[in-house]
Structure 1
Amino acid sequence: MTAIINGKIVTPEDIMEDKVLLLGGDRILGVTDGIPDADRIIDANGGYILPGFIDIHSDRIEQCILPRPTSMLDFELALKECESELLHLGITTMYHSLTLYKDEFFGKSPIRTKENVKKLAGLIGNIHNRSHLIRHRFHLRIEIDNFEAYDIARAMIESGQVHEISFMDHTPGQGQYRNLEIYQKTISSYQGREVANRSFEEILEYHRGKETLSLEQLRELAELAHAHGIAVASHDDDTVEKLELNERLGVDICEFPITIETAKAAHEKGLFTVVGAPNILLGGSHSGNMSAAEAIQEGCADIICSDYYPPAILHGIFIMAERYGISLSDMVNKATLHPARAMKIDGDYGAVERGKKADLLVVEVLDGYPVITHVLVDGRVTAQVAYRR
């Protein structure tokens, strides 16, 4: 038995002080008063004891595999280095997100070919049979103008390689890029071949005339995903009408709604609404869209994810608690219990509760910043850091 002492235990409802958290094997046994006769004692040093973060949308693995446009590293090496980083940031379950793009307006990425998407999914699926640190899952992002994605997604879902799917549409003039000026600035920064060879008006004309997967195909993919216990997300909903369409397709999760009105409508419909934690750190969207902090204050953001910057989850939680007065329990739930519910894994993960897996963090606040000093996965200390003065 392991006992974690001298910590403030963050539960889904409140914060428990002057209690000891007991672990047995890979599970949480409960809380008690006083220090028991334990095999191991972990001193939280007055810090917070939280569940491990469950990140359902992150592009970080792409950056680890392809740190420069012409430097693609060995996939398993990159995955192992990536998980070491994620572990120390408190992310104990990661849904690695990878997109099947058709065009190259956002730059050519060799990782996003169908061969490499399948390769990474296979690696994520079998890494648990070898030495590993965290729980790896695969989030397949399906760009709706990629016709090959339909057959690829079906095969990957049926083979058990996918744990979440999302429907993406990066067409300019709607969604994330309603503002065409921001879209032009964004694609120019990627310096893709198709951008260099076409005028901006030609790019817009291409998008106006392109074909997309049918609503029936998207509905079939959603139904197949649900039949395999896989959650389905929409992406960048910018109107209530689009949200209602995605709801009819069978979507469970609304990722990155563009407006507060859309976020509120998604929340009212019972969809899990996701915002990016970097948005909190930046004080707003990098694409000029909805403020995540405002959505959280308005009560219409259920989940925070790291999106493209994994440290943002930890810092976003404490910023919202300290600057905006949102309870720490509520903010922790948005990175743990709520994503666990969205992914249908909350029977085992997402809260400091008796019987659940002992995926835990000890967080201290040093120099005004939250820092993680201990990470436990399956009840074992897998990372420990001692800060110096």
Structure 2
Amino acid sequence: MTAETTFANARLILNDEVITGSVVIADGVIADIATGTSVPAGAIDIEGDYLSPGLVELHTDNVERHLEPRPKVSWPFRAAILAHDRELAGAGITTVFDAIRVGSIVSDTGSGYPKYARQMTDEIMGARDLGLLRISHHIHLRAEVCSETLIDELDEFLTEDRIGIVSIMDHTPGQRQFVDISKFETYIRGKRTYTDEKWRRYLEFLYELQARLGTKHEAATVAAAKRLGATLASHDDTTADQVATSHTYGVRVAEFPTTVAAADACHAKGIATIMGAPNLIRGGSHSGNVAAADLAQMDRLDILSSDYVPAGLLMAAVQLGDIWGNLARGMRTVTAAPAQAVGLADRGTLAVGQRADIIRFSINDKTPVLQETWSAGKRVS
């Protein structure tokens, strides 16, 4: 017999509205949805809390924080992955695209960007195959154009790796995310120790590296995404011309555009715009770029990413619901919209036949309080 679980007396966050009703799950999928406040025998009384689809995260660097919990302190890969997985489950994230850097700096510059992508991917997939992970993990390759080893590292990945996203990233100071070089300096020197002279040499090294390999690396990234069958993403687009170039490459999602002009251009080209939840919650970008709240007010924000704070994803979605006066719309930016952007048709909405990825939360003084997370019909937090 098929075991069923019924959640009753809940506020169900559907794609376009919030209703009071119940959800039945069986064999890891949603089997039925009904309206009303009744609590049948054997059902779980949600007591008026919200039920939403599990959150879908397309870009998080969180696993790297577990790999290096303090500057120059390395942590075992498997232990870091398990800690990361459980943190995400506890934040209501049921599908994650783990953002793993490809493209390393192996010269003795003191920058601390060693090669790790192939090993990390193998560790994540190995943990998944062993049933050690609580949520659904996919791979997002962050292709760093300003690096020395990008092409060789991309060549290590094959179609059987089922890479979900490949993003084109260029963190050369003076453009894109770090138009303001002082922000780049604060970011890097906050993590690494540099004398003033060593810092000057490091900047010169990055400029030369990008000038020598940037164009070649960008082309290789586009080709790799096509070869791997992955969704191609741009990163930190700043100008309309950069967005136009992204469009010619076949980019479908734009991560963290830094200006209104770039967000407008993405909207005109049909490219979905991803903004960071920390930007929204903090009221602005830590790099001094466009505020996510401003783009939300202009209807130029399509998807939220937790970026570097997993617990921020649900909080920011609820905050967007307040901005728009529509909680269902706010929650779509962390459920249906990201799922659709990467072609995951089996999740992201509360609908019959969808994966039973479900979260339960209440809202206290405009702050969501997560109660439970279910992944494929199994409670994981």
In structure 1, the residue corresponding to 2:356 is in which secondary structure?
A: coil
Aligned residue type for 1:49: L
Q: CA deviation at 1:183?
A: 2.3
Q: Distance in 2 between matches of 1:105 and 1:271?
A: 39
Q: CA deviation at 1:108?
A: 4.0
Alignment of 1:1-389 (within 5 A): 1-17=4-20, 19-33=21-35, 40-99=42-101, 100-102=103-105, 108-109=111-112, 112-114=113-115, 116-130=116-130, 131-160=132-161, 162-193=163-194, 197-200=197-200, 202-210=201-209, 211-213=211-213, 215=215, 218-322=218-322, 324-345=323-344, 347-383=345-381
**CA distance 1:207–1:314, change in 2 (3 Å):** same
- Which stretch of the first structure deviates more once superposed, 254-263 or 220-229? 220-229
Aligned-residue identity in percent: 28
Q: CA deviation at 1:223?
A: 4.0
- Which stretch of the first structure deviates more once superposed, 229-238 or 142-151? 142-151
For normalisation by structure 2, the TM-score amounts to 0.91
Q: 1:22-45: per-residue Cα shift (whole Å, max 9, x none)?
A: 21211112312465867x522222
Q: Distance in 2 between matches of 1:79 and 1:165?
A: 20
Q: 1:196-234: per-residue Cα shift (whole Å, max 9, x none)?
A: 54354x444434433354646534543442354311111
**CA distance 1:367–1:221, change in 2 (3 Å):** closer
Q: CA deviation at 1:326?
A: 4.0
**CA distance 1:250–1:102, change in 2 (3 Å):** farther
Aligned residue type for 1:160: D
Give yes or no for contact 2:295–2:301 (8 Å, CA) kept in 1: yes
Q: Which runs of 5+ in 1 are unaligned?
A: 384-389
Q: Distance in 2 between matches of 1:145 and 1:103?
A: 12
Q: CA deviation at 1:307?
A: 0.6
Q: CA deviation at 1:302?
A: 0.9
Q: Distance in 2 between matches of 1:106 and 1:368?
A: 46
Give yes or no for contact 2:174–2:181 (8 Å, CA) kept in 1: yes
For normalisation by structure 1, the TM-score amounts to 0.89
Give yes or no for contact 1:106–1:187 (8 Å, CA) kept in 2: no
**CA distance 1:275–1:157, change in 2 (3 Å):** farther
Aligned residue type for 1:369: T
Q: Distance in 1 between matches of 2:94 and 2:155?
A: 28
Q: Distance in 2 between matches of 1:280 and 1:32?
A: 34
Q: 1:258-282: per-residue Cα shift (whole Å, max 9, x none)?
A: 1011112112211121100000111
Q: Distance in 2 between matches of 1:184 and 1:367?
A: 37
Q: Distance in 1 between matches of 2:94 and 2:161?
A: 21
In structure 2, the residue corresponding to 1:261 is in which secondary structure?
A: helix
C-alpha RMSD over aligned residues = 2.3
Aligned length: 374
In structure 2, the residue corresponding to 1:293 is in which secondary structure?
A: helix
**CA distance 1:77–1:330, change in 2 (3 Å):** same
In structure 1, the residue corresponding to 2:71 is in which secondary structure?
A: coil
Give yes or no for contact 2:19–2:35 (8 Å, CA) kept in 1: no
Give yes or no for contact 1:146–1:212 (8 Å, CA) kept in 2: no
Q: Distance in 1 between matches of 2:177 and 2:47?
A: 43
Give yes or no for contact 1:267–1:301 (8 Å, CA) kept in 2: no
